[in-house]
Amino acid sequence: MRAISSISFSGQLEDKIEAAAACGFEAIEIFREDIIGFDGPPDEIGRFARDAGIAVLSLQSLRDYEGLSGAARTEALARAEKFLDLAARIGAEMLILCANTRPESHAEGALEDLRLLADMAAARGLKVGYEALASSRHIPTVAAAHAAVQAVGRKNFGLVIGTVHLFASASGSLEDALATLREIEPQKLFLVHLADTPTTRIDPALIAASFRLFPGQGTLPVAALYSQLLVQGYDGPMSIESFNDQIRSLPAARIAEDAMRAFHLLEETHTRTARPRADLRGPGLVEFTAQGGDVDDFTSLFNALGFVETHENGPVSLWSQGAITLALNTTTKGLAHSIYLVQGASVSGVGLVVEDMPLMLGRIGLFHGEAVELAEPYGFARLRGPGGSVLFLQPGRYAPGPEFHVTGAAPAQGLLTHIDHVAQALQPNLFLSGLLFYRAAFDLRAHELRDVLDPHGTVHSRTLVNDSAAFRLSLNASFGAGTTTQRFLGKSGFAPFHHIALASDDIFGLAAKLDPQDVLAIPPNYYEDLALRFDLAPDFIARLREGNLMYDRDEGGSYLQLYTRAINGFFFEVVERRGYTGMGAANAPVRMLAQLREIEAEEALHLL
Amino acid sequence: MRAISSISFSGQLEDKIEAAAACGFEAIEIFREDIIGFDGPPDEIGRFARDAGIAVLSLQSLRDYEGLSGAARTEALARAEKFLDLAARIGAEMLILCANTRPESHAEGALEDLRLLADMAAARGLKVGYEALASSRHIPTVAAAHAAVQAVGRKNFGLVIGTVHLFASASGSLEDALATLREIEPQKLFLVHLADTPTTRIDPALIAASFRLFPGQGTLPVAALYSQLLVQGYDGPMSIESFNDQIRSLPAARIAEDAMRAFHLLEETHTRTARPRADLRGPGLVEFTAQGGDVDDFTSLFNALGFVETHENGPVSLWSQGAITLALNTTTKGLAHSIYLVQGASVSGVGLVVEDMPLMLGRIGLFHGEAVELAEPYGFARLRGPGGSVLFLQPGRYAPGPEFHVTGAAPAQGLLTHIDHVAQALQPNLFLSGLLFYRAAFDLRAHELRDVLDPHGTVHSRTLVNDSAAFRLSLNASFGAGTTTQRFLGKSGFAPFHHIALASDDIFGLAAKLDPQDVLAIPPNYYEDLALRFDLAPDFIARLREGNLMYDRDEGGSYLQLYTRAINGFFFEVVERRGYTGMGAANAPVRMLAQLREIEAEEALHLL
């Protein structure tokens, strides 16, 4: 049973219930604090949820109950009665009890108190779910809570576990976490809370308080626990309990969609364990939308890079070189033009070559609540990605239909061979959501978060790749208003493609042919610095400098990069990989610095 | 010697050097990466700095140098030569060497390599500063680096320590950190890096990478280390090396000011250790700026709360009750009106009653680069605080001069007695800067960061208090655009006062007199929830509900609160403390929820 906790959402309880129901959740857990904002007495919550088509799974959470003595125990018992009454009133089937964290609580009386609570709950037809807390003296671990549940020995008293806590108590070891799971009798397990964390290098209590993500957005192998639970025969509720400022700032409907997507990703990962399969083969057609002077700006840059116009179909022209096809769309109708109106000259669609199209289309319909449409005039399926960005799904390399007439022949010996990677800039609150979208929809792997120092702040970057590494996507977001990423977003909408990297097997040759006006000028001191970082021959450095090329190296080999001038913030990168596997992150701050100078020079001109 | 590292700034090296020089720093450390963006050959950096009036202290940093063998050692030696050449070219007196973190480095050869580097440096007239790194196998601690420096035994080879690393290697224990310091011979210590951290509950490497704050902005007792160093007779350079996205998003001039303020705070804390003294006695006059219909809105709210107009002087009227004086300023000239034009009807100044005015005025001039002006018509000194907010400095309770004519008598038996606390909302990138301003200027203590759950995101909150707890200020910031805090800021500038809490000794009496229209309506389920949280008599809860009062309790006693309706986002809070020492943070989410409903209802009306 797929459930979600109301704490995963921001906003009003009514909106949370409706959003969860609309996205197909079968049950919702309700945080006590959320009842305060409900517009009606608590007794109406159960009916409201039923009307929306969702069950109330639990009331979260009774705390500091068991193992007290004297007046404190009397008070705790009275409080427990009130919580059980409230759970019954809101139509929940279960009350969550968190292990007592008060220092004065003692293990001796705890068992009797837990039995008492189970019996009080049974009298109301309710279950009690018991959850360990790292800060509890007596029940800090899942194993301790499991032992207590067994000792209590009541049918309506069971265990609640959470993935973040489970990994934390296993010191982040998957083997230990799985071993703990295997010890648990399935019928004693009432509920599993699913969440992820961005890093395991933070104090567990701090993560629990502030940094919980949806499964798939962080670094924990939540999918392995999910699989193990199914293998063990667990068929009780699993509930997404996430908590994070970045997530909470999104509307309830988006949060519910992302949470359901996280479930689908877990399920897919589980069913695929036996047969790994890459869903994408690589990037495909890239479409640009432009009007007026920007059209010439793009075509002159395409020409400079060695692209040749091969086809035309009304307002759409195709430009080819190697395995790369670019489309320049000057239409004044439809989605491409709408994108132009919103964000000016820009990438209006990126193609993804899909391995098994019928499977992909079936999955997208069933999976994410996303719909595909037909992308004219290419005949592709079109899908809207993060922030409304456009993705084309192609069954293979794009071959223009008869409605395109031939205007030229692709160059036989172009210096560019294929698309190396694509970079998308996201508004910061869409970063986690976008990451989950790409992981779930296309089964991409996410590398660890990397922070790149822009001159005016930090740009957070994560690279997503498919299994064959033929498709590489870099997602970038930044909170600083002055960073190049955020400045680009400021004029280009919510999630535009920021640059496309084209692979070359002769970047020096290309650099020699390019007009310096078309290339981003690299600060001369970069080449001084390069001599400190690497043991390079002076004349090699001189050649790099002459071509405004950048250089990096890793265990696999070396990497050469150049950047074109920007058109409305968008730019091409040209790369030559000589065994290197990274994305040139070490050079990104210098590129941002150089671009910022151009932006500021341009802005200064506008002020004149 | 007060220094700062170029990594503490964002932007261009030239701006960093000039900003540091303008704020009185004597030296700057230069990060290698910053040289890339310098507009000229590295050789010109030293002269550029000298012309700006600041020395180049060091080149940061040679890494992975010592303890290698074979070709790697040859390469490291060649690299070291290049780094020393660069240090000499930029006019630095010292090269910073970070302990080798490569797993293949070995302790055996390291000593010889360090001596070699010292001699290579000596040949150029340079010093080498050696810094331990937690991730280094051989030199993970300050003690290990100190031992190495002693073993090297060269006059120009000394130790570099950093406060964050020092606390981390002492497991956060101040005693252990001080003990480590005491072992160090002052003449072997070449440089101290000063920084703070927001919490000690994060992995040290992660803090070092992303979360370093200015001293005074976080939770480490940096001032105690600073004092100990002076007591030991250390008179070498101390350099602020901070690193944080929130700080980096500020302009260079603001960063330099804040860093210098951090130095002044350290120095003041050091000189005061012998004679603690509170600088503020409490809050003073609160001035509101208003025009047109807002004037009546304020006066009717003042009247409803029991204030009486006592004085008038042209456009300024004074309103009194108990120890509270409010000024309503309807001027169309000067600063108060400028604030009206920028942010509409709002608080245009908050008075602070200063214990020793000559001392305070002397300090402000000398201390922060801030200037005071005369605040007409009150005759106070006026100081601009975070984001340009206005603070009046009063020598005691405000007594209007003869230019004010009497219009009425303050109520003999008012229900409000004094100002309990003041809340200011800050744009998120000003949060740390504002915190440091209040700490440094008024010697306030800062409580730990607290996160309050607004329905649409998290509001970060820190409470600042003076020693007598008579002055309490709550600073709030939020990244979520939909939070009540951020919505208020959206229409009210950078750092407006969001609410003023007034103390009452009969809040039930006041609630009974107030028109329900003037009071924020609390959701009925709040009172259901209260019964779960506390063991309160049903008729007491009924009285709370009737008056729209909120309730909280801590070890000290209980707390009653009510909120007035908002005027342009500003509102009053009325509190009755019955021994309670907190700020009612547990109720803040409910208050935000209730206010959000009012805001949304109002916005819906505007859309009609």
> Would you state the pLDDT for residue B29?
98
> Would you state the pLDDT for residue B367?
56
Cα distances (angstroms) measured from residue A490 to each of A493, A565, B249, B250: 7, 19, 16, 18
State whether B155 and B263 are in the same domain.
yes
d(CA A171, CA A158): 24
For residues B454 and A527, which has the higher predicted lDDT (pLDDT)?
Answer: A527
Tell me the two tokens of residue A215: 């499964």
Cα distances (angstroms) measured from residue A78 to each of A88, A116, B534, B578: 16, 12, 10, 25
B368 assigned to a ligand binding site: no
Q: Is the pLDDT of residue A338 over 60?
A: yes
Give the three-class secondary structure for A156.
coil
State whether A337 and A414 are in the same domain.
yes
Q: Is the pLDDT of residue A210 over 60?
A: no
**Closest chain B C-alpha to A529 CA, distance in angstroms:** 7
Q: Is the pLDDT of residue B492 over 80?
A: no
Q: Could you say which of B10, B39, B458 has the minimum Cβ distance to residue A457?
A: B10
State the first-to-last Cα distance of chain A, in angstroms, to the nearest integer: 63
Q: Is the pLDDT of residue A209 over 90?
A: no
Q: Write down which residue in B272, B291, B321 finishes a domain.
A: B272
Nearest CA in chain A to B456: A10
**Does B82 contact A at CB distance below 8 Å?**
yes
Q: Is the pLDDT of residue B179 over 70?
A: yes
> Would you state the pLDDT for residue A486?
83
Which own/partner contact pairs does B271-279 have at CB distance under 8 Å and 24+ positions apart? B272/B443, B273/B227, B276/B467, B277/B355, B277/B356, B277/B443, B278/B355, B278/B443, B278/B466, B278/B467, B278/B468, B279/B354, B279/B355, B279/B356, B279/B360, B279/B442, B279/B443, B279/B466
State whether B258 and B298 are in the same domain.
no
Q: Is the pLDDT of residue A395 over 60?
A: yes
Tell me the two tokens of residue A427: 């508004």
State whether B358 and B411 are in the same domain.
yes
Mean pLDDT of B377-385: 92
Q: Is the pLDDT of residue B537 over 80?
A: yes
> Would you state the pLDDT for residue B427?
86
Number of domains in chain B: 2
**Does B451 contact A at CB distance below 8 Å?**
yes
Contact B456 A35 (CB under 8 A): no
For residues A365 and B104, which has the higher predicted lDDT (pLDDT)?
Answer: B104
**Does B234 contact A at CB distance below 8 Å?**
no
> Would you state the pLDDT for residue A431?
87
Percent of chain B with pLDDT over 70: 95
What is the span of the domain harbouring residue B166? Answer: 2-272
Contact A593 B36 (CB under 8 A): yes
Q: Is A314 left (phi over 0), alpha (psi -120 to 50) or beta?
A: left
Query: Which chain A residues are Cβ-neighbours of B201 within 8 angstroms?
Result: 202-203, 205-206
State whether B239 and B309 are in the same domain.
no
**Does A593 contact B at CB distance below 8 Å?**
yes
Nearest CA in chain A to B32: A529
Contact A529 B455 (CB under 8 A): no
State whether A328 and A452 are in the same domain.
yes
In this prediction, does ipTM exceed 0.90? Answer: no
> Would you state the pLDDT for residue B32?
93
Give the three-class secondary structure for A407.
coil
> Would you state the pLDDT for residue B469?
86
State whether B603 and B570 are in the same domain.
yes
For residues A265 and B67, which has the higher predicted lDDT (pLDDT)?
Answer: B67
Give the three-class secondary structure for B380.
strand
Contact A206 B202 (CB under 8 A): yes
Q: Is the pLDDT of residue A288 over 80?
A: yes
Window 7-66 of A: residues touching B by CB (8 A cutoff) are: 10-12, 32-33, 35-39, 41-42
Categorize the per-residue pLDDT at A345 as very low, low, confident or very high, splitting at 50, 70 and 90: very high
Least confident of B184-193, B200-209, B255-264, B318-327: B200-209
Q: Is the pLDDT of residue B433 over 90?
A: no
Percent of chain B with pLDDT over 90: 67
**Does A202 contact B at CB distance below 8 Å?**
yes
Q: What is the pLDDT of residues B270-298, one digit of tens each?
A: 887 655 565 889 999 999 999 999 999 99
> Would you state the pLDDT for residue B604?
66
- Count of pairs with CB atoms under 8 A, one residue in A, one in B: 144
Categorize the per-residue pLDDT at B406 as very low, low, confident or very high, splitting at 50, 70 and 90: very high
State the first-to-last Cα distance of chain B, in angstroms, to the nearest integer: 63
Q: Could you say which of B41, B78, B245 has the minimum Cβ distance to residue A458?
A: B245
Q: Write down which residue in B249, B272, B295 finishes a domain.
A: B272
Contact A210 B482 (CB under 8 A): no
CATH code for position B90 = 3.20.20.150
Contact B456 A202 (CB under 8 A): no
Categorize the per-residue pLDDT at B397 as very low, low, confident or very high, splitting at 50, 70 and 90: very high
**Does A104 contact B at CB distance below 8 Å?**
no
Tell me the two tokens of residue B473: 């200020």
Q: What is the pLDDT of residues B564-595, one digit of tens each?
A: 999 999 999 999 999 999 889 899 999 998 98
Q: What is the pLDDT of residues B97-106, one digit of tens each?
A: 999 999 999 8
Residue ranges of A for the binding site for Mg(2+)?
Answer: 421, 499, 573
**Does A172 contact B at CB distance below 8 Å?**
no
**Does A205 contact B at CB distance below 8 Å?**
yes
Least confident of A192-201, A363-372, B169-178, B323-332: A363-372
Q: Could you say which of A36, A199, A456 has the minimum Cβ distance to residue B529?
A: A36
Categorize the per-residue pLDDT at B400 as very low, low, confident or very high, splitting at 50, 70 and 90: very high
d(CA A93, CA A54): 13
* Under 8 Å between Cβ of B527 and B569: no
Window 285-324 of B: residues touching A by CB (8 A cutoff) are: none
d(CA A84, CA A97): 11
Task: Give how far the C-alpha of residue B471 lies from the chain's centroid of Cα atoms, to the nearest Å.
Answer: 16
Contact B201 A202 (CB under 8 A): yes
Query: Which chain A residues are Cβ-neighbours of B524 within 8 angstroms?
Result: 41
**Does B78 contact A at CB distance below 8 Å?**
yes
Contact A479 B203 (CB under 8 A): no
Q: What is the pLDDT of residues A10-61, one digit of tens each?
A: 888 999 999 999 999 999 999 999 999 899 999 999 999 999 999 999 999 9
Q: What is the pLDDT of residues A473-522, one digit of tens each?
A: 999 988 777 788 888 887 777 779 999 999 999 999 999 999 999 999 99
d(CA B547, CA B534): 18
Q: Could you say which of A35, A201, A457 has the minimum Cβ distance to residue B248?
A: A457
> Would you state the pLDDT for residue B244?
75
Contact B41 A526 (CB under 8 A): no
State which amino acid sits at residue B430.
L
CATH code for position A349 = 3.10.180.10
State whether B237 and B332 are in the same domain.
no
State whether B299 and B398 are in the same domain.
yes
List the helix and strand counts (H, then E) for chain B: 21, 26
> Would you state the pLDDT for residue A188?
95
State whether A125 and A235 are in the same domain.
yes
**Does B338 contact A at CB distance below 8 Å?**
no
Q: What is the pLDDT of residues B124-165, one digit of tens each?
A: 999 999 999 988 989 999 999 999 999 999 999 999 999 988
State whether A259 and A336 are in the same domain.
no
Nearest CA in chain B to A595: B37
Q: Write down which residue in A246, A272, A298 finishes a domain.
A: A272
Categorize the per-residue pLDDT at B352 as very low, low, confident or very high, splitting at 50, 70 and 90: very high
State whether A302 and A217 are in the same domain.
no
Which of B242, B520, B532, B600 has the highest number of chain A CBs within 10 A, making it the mutation to test binding with A? B532
How crowded is residue A460: how many other Cβ atoms within 10 Å of its Cβ?
Answer: 18
Q: Is the pLDDT of residue A203 over 70?
A: no
Contact B32 A532 (CB under 8 A): yes
> Would you state the pLDDT for residue B528?
92
Which of A5, A39, A528 has the highest number of chain B CBs within 10 A, making it the mutation to test binding with B? A528
* Under 8 Å between Cβ of B440 and B262: yes
Mean pLDDT of A119-141: 94
Cα distances (angstroms) measured from residue A449 to each of A2, A211, A442, B270: 29, 14, 19, 40
> Would you state the pLDDT for residue B17?
97
Query: Which chain A residues are Cβ-neighbours of B86 within 8 angstroms?
Result: 528, 532
> Would you state the pLDDT for residue B431?
87
Q: Is the pLDDT of residue B41 over 80?
A: yes
B421 assigned to a ligand binding site: yes
For residues A125 and B246, which has the higher predicted lDDT (pLDDT)?
Answer: A125
**Closest chain A C-alpha to B225 CA, distance in angstroms:** 25
> Would you state the pLDDT for residue B201?
52
* Under 8 Å between Cβ of B474 and B499: no
Query: Which chain B residues are Cβ-neighbours of A453 within 8 angstroms?
Result: 33
Tell me the two tokens of residue B387: 């984001």
Using CB atoms within 10 A of its CB, is residue B122 exposed (0-12), middle (13-18) or buried (19+)?
A: middle
Q: What is the pLDDT of residues B14-33, one digit of tens each?
A: 999 999 999 999 999 999 99
